Amino acid sequence: MTANTHLEHPEDMVFTHGLQGFMLDFFYGLPKDHKVSVKWDGAPALVWGRCPSTNEFFVGTKSVFNKKLIKINYNHRDIDRNHQGVVAKILHVAFECLPVPSQGYLQGDFIGFGGSDVFQPNTIEYRFSSVITNSIVVAVHTAYRGAFLQPTASYGISVDDIRFDDKRSSRCYLIDTTHAHINFRNPVQRLIDTAKVKWFTLRSKQPVDTASQNYLKTHVNSFIRSGSFPSAQIMYDSLPDKYKCKVNVDLFYLYHIIHDLKMRVLKQVEVTNDTECFIDGQPTDPEGFVISNYKQTYKLVDRLEFSKANFTLNKNWTNEKV
């Protein structure tokens, strides 16, 4: 598996990776063949550990995975040169506080600086059961081995399974994102079989080009931003003619079937920690979950609840030089 720089919604794979980009068999074998972890709504992403080429300790953002402008910080001077503003402040503290893994490097989401029991790094406000006194709070979710451009990733890792070489763990509160499991009681066999009929019908057609795939994804997101999720026919009918002639309504029917499969699985996930989540002061569920097997990894998010809020949020830190 590659770097966790962007995880897809399973239904979007119909658009972004073509008709063969998503394997319906992914939903078979739940839950025994899958890992599930809580998707924390932190920002920015932090990557740290031992550099695969130098073995030196480093901290960074997702920019360590860039193909051209790679930003790896081995000291505070590197942070000041590569970053600015809030992101630089976070990385300075991270460099001093994040514990050094014995092997490889890790990725997690910044939740906040210690000294409180309430944190809102992004859309969701998190309320913990007690004040966190550690200097920095990070939700760790991925472990890597190998070069930055082609790493081997392990998703859904438990903090208890990570070995560290130094004693700085006391300065950092690492949230274990694996405090969830699938309590699967609702069979999805009929939906999978229905989707396969659509799938094999569509596979005989010429896949749409990359630009059209990207537009189709944007087209669906425009409905989500407005808080609606219309029928497949409406989604198709509202396409501009230049894209409508490249697909048919069956593609959107398949999108809806996979979305329904995802929502049925999403409703079976149970969280076992006691952190409370709020959006605009109203109780809510976690942002979503990450589910993976040995072949594929996806994010499961209730897009009408969370994605709409996330789309409309003014993220001040995204203008920073990350």
Residues 98-148: tens digit of each pLDDT: 999 999 999 999 999 999 999 999 999 999 999 999 999 999 999 999 999
pTM: 0.85
Joined tokens for residue 96? 């001093």
Residues 272-308: tens digit of each pLDDT: 888 999 998 999 999 999 988 777 888 999 988 887 6
Cα→Cα distances 83→88, 114, 265, 320, Å: 5, 22, 39, 8
Q: Which of 139, 142, 136 is nearest to 175 (CA)?
A: 139
Q: CB-based contacts of 34: which residues, under 8 Å, 6+ apart? A: 182, 291, 292, 293
Joined tokens for residue 63? 């920019």
Task: State residue 319's pLDDT score.
Answer: 45
Three-state DSSP state, 130: strand
The answer to whether 107 touches 140, Cβ cutoff 8 Å, is yes
CA distance 95 to 73: 9
CA distance 116 to 125: 12
CA distance 251 to 202: 7
Domain ranges in the chain?
A: 10-37+183-274+277-309, 39-177
